Amino acid sequence: MLSNRNRSRLRLLLAPLLLAQLLSPGMSEHVQAQYTEPMHKEAATDAATFRLQVKAAPGARYQTESTFDDKSLQRALESAAAGVPYIEPLLPDTTLSYYKKDQTQLLGVTPTGEAVDLAAKQTLQLSSKAQAALREQVRALRAKHYGELLTWEEASLVLPKFSSFTVLDVESGLSFEGQRRAGSHHADVQPLTKADSATLKSIYGGQWSWDRRAVLVKLNGRTLAASMHGMPHGGDGIPGNDFNGHFCIHFLGSVTHGSRSVDPAHQVMVHRAAGLLNDYVSKLSPSALIDVWISGAHQGDLQLLQVTTGQEQALHVRSMRRLSKEQEQDVSQLLQLDTTVDVAMTGARSSAVSTRRVLFHLERATLQDRWFIRSAIIQ
């Protein structure tokens, strides 16, 4: 049991709260830029047409759409009864809009073709034929929208040194041209021109940043899932591009040059760029899940907080970085786990970095289910 003194310490409340009240002034502009637009506000305009739309996060400006006609599917949807609750922590990234009795209908669709009532968070009972039709449409659209999940060794062959390619940010939709200059464990990249450097800087709100972002790397008809940061460092090589150094792009299994270890924040962004964020996080160990939560806290990424806790989140922190790295515990027979992690953090209304300890409580329903972070208390 926590003492009264511990209860009075700063807590990170894992419950739905008003965004405007909890976001720190330094963080609010960044987060609101991602989440102000309603999710999938467009609707089908033809009564005989379905419109599919996919994007990586609710507020992402990069989206891919397709339209198709299927009268039998429309009849199946119009007569579908309510099914089981939809229990995934994130709503489907793909939506389907169509007309029913002169009213626009909007549903989520999973990669397996399940239709989801977004308001009720409940699936619809569809025939196997109708679900297969949806599954094929969603599969084709997501394949266009997201990138291939290639290992670093495979990606390095697709992007040889001195190759130039397009880098597209999956949230802002902004893109620029870059060139791989070096890098044996991940790609060391530079923007090609001043304009490309300016675009990269604008993706980060007008200042260089170490924050990780999910990106697509496009070259020779291939689109690869990747993660980048936006901080110039190290060697230079393209004169006159207003970028003093290079930035890094990671792929599946990439490691840092210094520690030769996988960067957890880059890996979660690689999977976001591949459209596999929920699948990836659902398989993580408690320690790795905490790494994703800390990345979300550090970057003000509400989707990462939600996928780790199963709840919509807001957070009272400017920055957070993990300091302690304990050995992985054997949790194979556990349904609950309490663990502490040392972090360097900056509070919402502070500029000073302090060393703190966070007490995490994690749970899962059965030994076969995934872990969720149910509480995090800063001590």
Task: Please say if the pLDDT value at position 203 is more than 90.
Answer: yes
What is the reported pLDDT for 196? 98
pLDDT digits (tens, 9 = 90+) for 221-249: 999 999 999 999 987 779 999 999 999 99
What average pLDDT score do residues 251-266 get?
89
pLDDT of residue 20: 30
Q: Look at residue 30 in the predicted model and tell me its pLDDT.
A: 30
Residue 329 is predicted with a pLDDT of 87
Is it the case that residue 46 has pLDDT exceeding 70?
no
> Which pLDDT value is given to residue 14?
42
Q: Please determine, for residue 71, whether its predicted confidence score (pLDDT) is greater than 60.
A: yes
pLDDT digits (tens, 9 = 90+) for 134-153: 999 999 999 999 999 999 99
What pLDDT score was predicted for residue 325? Answer: 78
Q: Show the 3-state SS of the chain.
A: CCCHHHHCCCEECCCCCCHHHHCCHHHHHHHHHHHCCCCCCCCCCCCCCEEEEECCCCCCCCCEEEEECCHHHHHHHHCCCEEEECCCCCCCCEEEEEEECCEEEEEEECCCCCEEECCCCEEECCCHHHHHHHHHHHHHHHHHHCCECCEHHHHHHHCCCCCEEEEEECCCCCEEEEEEEECCCCEEEEECCHHHHHHHHHHCCCCCEEEEEEEEEEECCEEEEEEEEECCECCCCCCCCCCCCEEEEECECCECCCCCCECHHHHHHHHHHCCCHHHHHHCCCHHHHHHHHHHHHHHCCHHHHHHHHCCCCCCCEEEEEECCCCCCCCCCCCCEEEEEEEEEEEECCCCCCEEEEEEEEEECCCCCCCCEEEEEEEC
Q: What is the pLDDT of residue 32?
A: 27
Higher pLDDT, 309 or 14: 309
pLDDT higher than threshold 50 for residue 253: yes
- 36-40, 73-77, 187-191, 356-360: lowest mean pLDDT where? 36-40
Mean pLDDT of 38-60: 71
pLDDT band at 48 (very low <50, low <70, confident <90, very high): low
pTM beyond 0.85: the answer is yes
State percent of the chain over pLDDT 70: 87
- Is pLDDT above 60 for 3? no
